[in-house]
Amino acid sequence: MVEPGSVMERLLRGVEHFEREVFPREREFFAGLAGGQNPAVLFITCADSRLLPNLFTNTVPGELFISRHVGNLVPAYGGTMGGVTATIEYAVSVLGVAHVIVCGHTGCGAVQAMLDPESVRELPSVREWLRHAEAARRTVVENNPGASTAE
């Protein structure tokens, strides 16, 4: 049972609205999407819930192949063969994307955590993930010795 007024109820109502209002109105568009995807761009960005790549790039479903994860980090090839590497490989080799964009954002908690590792002491998976940016962190600190984490 979904509690009235809860986030889950709102999500379910959103799905119902999509099925009842949006899908019928855009049936032809969605039928085209069902035939397969052919995005020109792999768009790698942060998992931050406030970021909506299709909104701020003025694109529609099918135009961007989107990879979202903490800090929009891309591990060095060969070091960690995980989801990010698999996404890039698939996008380039199978989908044939022409462009790969890595898009960060202001106030990124992951970037702040890289500069203040103590803040993620209790988050071992996050701490390990952020190690992929250690070379970049070191460069920033060495070249900006007096900078605050906000800078």
Interatomic CA distance for residues 53 and 45, integer angstroms: 8
Neighbours of 8 (CB within 10 A): 11
User: Tokens 């992951």 sit at which residue?
Assistant: 110
Catalytic, 50? Answer yes
Is 103 tagged catalytic?
Answer: no
Residue 130 CB burial class (10 angstroms; 0-12, 13-18, ≥19): buried
* Active-site annotation holder among 68, 69, 103, 108: 108
Catalytic residue among 68, 69, 103, 105: 105
Active site residue 116: no
| Alpha helices for the chain (secondary structure H) | 7-17, 23-25, 27-34, 53-56, 83-93, 109-115, 124-130, 134-143
Residues that are catalytic: 46, 48, 50, 105, 108
